[in-house]
Amino acid sequence: MTFADAPVVEAEGLTRHYTLPRERLTAAPQRVFALNQVSLTVRAGRSLGVVGESGCGKSTLARCVMALEPLTAGTLHILGKDPHVMRAWTLRRHRRNFQMVFQDPFGSLDPRHTVGRIVAEPLDVAEKWLKPDDRRGRVREVLESVGLKEADMSKYPHEFSGGQRQRVAIARALVTRPALIVADEPVSALDVSVQAQVLNLLQDLQDLYGVTYLLISHDLAVVKYVCHEVAVMYLGRIVEYGPTEGIFTNATHPYTRALLDAVPKLSPSRRRARSALKGMVPDPTETNPGCPFADRCPLVESQCRSQAPELREVAPGHVAACHLV
């Protein structure tokens, strides 16, 4: 890549709201505030992990970055170009630079196509000028780099296990030699022993090709293994963002701390007192003027309910949105 130091992803104030169907003819339709003012930057060869519970907007973020979802507001640049303002045919060519790996390797591969055809398909769109021999060579090359064999090209997805299927999905994302891979929960459908193989593979591919990852996961430990930086999301907002080490050793936002605390530890310590979060994630159709986490926060004060906290720097490169830090 010639974009050595340029950010691969530059997002500024990404916002995505959905309008729900009207409940009554006279009522104003409700809106879901799925993504609110999310800004982030990922540099080449680095990986950013996005963590949060279900409904925090992390998958919406992935889909917005992939330009699969229009933005309500904000700007996004991938390798310096904004996919959201491109014409369809330019966007199609630009798409070879950013590819996606989906969560469920059982649903994301067409059961009627051979693995060779599945992996080659992005080339048909992005690089259709390739000669058949080159095309085949490229497919063979990526299959080998994810640990599959050339002979697997003529097999069908059902002949593979979950972990191998996820390798096929990763090969398909890699075949256009993208600068960025967006992976939405790439290992959550896999068994523990297989999950470790896929996580190692993601790291190896980054070392080999210098590819940049945007990794979406609900599992903090997974993110910790693969990512250089972590963004913690809650109700469509980033509440803490910084280098992985900083987040895990020195979490400042009460939500991040509660999340870390809730993960079961491998040492048998019975009756461990968790700083249990009461209640659940509020309905994203409502907005209040205060901090989105105020209702569940153990430290909540009066200003938290009236004024929304901005992201403030707590250590170099490490920001958190909380009045009390």
* Contact footprint for other proteins (CB under 8 A): 53-54, 161, 163-164, 191-197, 199-200, 203, 218-222, 224-228, 244-245, 248, 258-260, 262-272, 274, 276-277, 280-281
Instruction: Give the nearest distance from C-beta 37 to other proteins in angstroms.
Output: 23
77 vs 224, which CB is nearer to other proteins? 224
In terms of C-beta density within 10 A (0-12 exposed, 13-18 middle, 19 or more buried), how is residue 268 classed? exposed
Distance of closest approach, residue 280 Cβ to other proteins, in angstroms: 5
Judged by CB, which is closer to other proteins: 135, or 318?
A: 318
> Smallest distance from the beta carbon of 188 to other proteins, in angstroms?
10
- In the complex with other proteins, which residue's Cβ is closer, 124 or 283? 283
The neighbouring-strand residues paired with 215 are 49, 183
Reference 42, options 248, 226, 195; nearest CA is 226
60 vs 97, beta carbon nearer other proteins: 60
Beta bridge partners of 182: 100, 214
Shortest distance, CB of residue 53 to other proteins, whole angstroms? 4
The answer to whether 247 and 230 are in contact (CB under 8 A) is yes
Are the C-beta atoms of residues 313 and 246 closer than 8 Å to each other?
no
Beta carbon nearer to other proteins, 68 or 263: 263
> CB under 8 Å to 147, separation ≥6 — which residues?
167, 201
Smallest gap, in angstroms, from Cβ of residue 17 to other proteins?
22
Shortest distance in whole angstroms from residue 156 CB to other proteins = 17
Nearest distance, CB of residue 92 and other proteins, angstroms? 34
Rounded to the nearest whole angstrom, what is the least distance from the CB of residue 104 to other proteins in the complex? 14
Nearer to other proteins, 108 or 206 (CB): 206
Residue with tokens 């992201």: 311
The string of DSSP codes covering 226-286 is: H-SEEEEEETTEEEEEEEHHHHHHS--SHHHHHHHHHSPPSS--TT----PPPS-PPPTT-
Query: For residues 83 and 81, what is the distance between their CA atoms, to the nearest angstrom?
Result: 6
Pick the closer one to other proteins by CB: 64 or 247. Answer: 247
38: which strand partners?
Answer: 14
Nearer CB in complex with other proteins: 87/271? 271
Tell me which residue has tokens 């000669």: 131
3-state secondary structure of 208: helix
Nearest Cα to Cα of residue 240 among 58, 51, 53: 51
Q: Report the nearest approach of other proteins to the CB of residue 213 (Å).
A: 12
Name the burial class of residue 207, with classes exposed (0-12), middle (13-18) and buried (19+) by CB atoms within 10 angstroms of its CB: exposed
CB 293 within 8 A of CB 281: no
Identity of the residue, 59 or 244, whose beta carbon is nearer to other proteins in the bound complex: 244
